[in-house]
Amino acid sequence: MHLSRDEEEALQGERGETLRRAMEILVALGDIYSADRLIPVRSVQVAGVSFKTIGEAGLEWISDLRGRVLVPSVLNPAGMDLSRWREMGIDEKFANKQIEIVDAYKSLGISPDCTCTPYSIRPDSARKGDHLAWSESSAVSFANSVIGAKTNREGGPSALAAALVGKTPRYGYHLEENRIPTIKISVDAYLDPSDYGLLGYIVGREVGEGVPRFRFRRRPEIDELKALGAAMAASGSVALYYFDEDAPSAPKGSEQITVTAEDLRAVREENAPDDEVDIVAVGCPHSSPKELEELARLLEGKKVEREFWICTARGIAERCPKLVEKIEGSGAKVFCDTCMVVSPASDRYKKMMVNSGKALAYVPGLCKIKAAFGSNEECVRAATRRN
């Protein structure tokens, strides 16, 4: 990989140990993927934040770094709401470690916005055509597919290295030739909003890391696209998809898959909730203001009978205090900075009902509890139903 003189000097350690280590990571990645050079990024989203996932070793690695990030950078969700962790049932030992991790990132100049929807709180962090170094798979998918920016799915260390250097190796989804659709998906069903997560769950399993091009009966809404991309990135590893009429076509002879109403119904039935559900959690990816509004409407005049968590970005909760108040009036809890998958607080339940194809794919493996799926209405019904 070609390096400029500045980059070469940083790699040789002439700009300090932290930059040397960051450059070492970027150069190693660039060499593995045959990148020709480093390119500047507009923003970075760093994964590897929850103490549940990175543990002591990760905390030590981050705490050792010195320096400042060169581009606007935010964090992925942490293992707890940074201020209401006691209400989540998080113990003090975990909380202290989690706060240490976030503080270590803050000391590098990274904003402690812990969210998988950085685009919702900082719309200028990613614009069409921008190169980014984002980590969280649903955010990566949204950036590539809905915003039209360009990012690979970075690991925690490579995103952090990109933030410190302000650049990333030019390979993968930064190159036009890797952004061509590889498979056609025809959706032969009228979809309601909750179907997009299920559709992504089905398609991700089929296409793995392909680039699907969808044909829909109607143009999906933004939150539907968010759910679709998140689920495909979890059940498969889709980082880019197309949904627009004027999107590039898949080359002639590309494989084609049709998803029918029957396919969706089968997955819905397979994952239907039952009496074992002892927690309901929505907001994967983090809830938008529109989704909070819908939940506030559905919960109006009701009381929850079991734990009901709504996960969102702190910036969104702060923007919508009345909605948060309305939702919490029912006994449901709006938690920020975290989510049901990366928080150890989920692990003490038996079965979690979710409205997200991504959470449906991840909860059993990462929380070691069972998962069930339903729409927002069904989630509210399950949360407010008396035993």
d(CA 138, CA 126): 14
State the Cα angle at 281 between 312 and 193, rounded to 5°. Answer: 80
- Smallest separation, CB 77 to ligand F3S (Å): 4
Contacts of residue 380, Cβ cutoff 8 Å, sequence gap at least 6: 280, 295, 298, 299, 302, 308
CA distance 259 to 278: 32
Q: Under the criterion CB under 6 A, does residue 130 sit at the interface with ligand F3S?
A: no
Query: Nearer Cβ to ligand F3S, position 138 or 145?
Result: 138
In the complex, minimum distance from the CB of residue 55 to ligand F3S, in angstroms, rounded to a whole number: 18
From residue 273, alpha-carbon distances to 240, 291, 294, 305, 382 in Å are 31, 21, 21, 15, 8
**Which contiguous run of DSSP H or E holds residue 259?**
strand 255-260
Tokens (6 digits) for 110: 């990274």
Q: In terms of Cα–Cα distance, which of 299, 359, 343, 294 is closest to 320? A: 294
235 contacts ligand F3S (rule: CB under 6 A): no
Determine, following the binding rule CB under 6 A, whether residue 146 of this chain makes contact with ligand F3S. no
Point out which span in 32-40, 164-172, 194-202, 337-345 binds ligand F3S (CB under 6 A): 337-345
Region 345-364 residues binding ligand F3S, contact defined as CB under 6 A: 358-359, 362
Residue 107 DSSP SS3 = helix
- Among positions 240-299, residues that touch ligand F3S (CB under 6 A) are 284-286
As measured in angstroms, the least distance from the Cβ of 16 to ligand F3S is 32
Length of the chain: 387
Pick 179 or 286: Cβ nearer ligand F3S: 286
Q: Which of 62, 341, 353, 382 touches ligand F3S (CB under 6 A)?
A: 341
Contact flag: residue 230 with ligand F3S (CB under 6 A) = yes
Q: Does 136 bind ligand F3S (CB under 6 A)?
A: yes
Within 303-332, the residues that bind ligand F3S by CB under 6 A are 311
Q: Which residues would be at the binding site for ligand F3S (CB under 6 A)?
A: 77, 116, 136, 138, 230, 284-286, 311, 339, 341-342, 358-359, 362
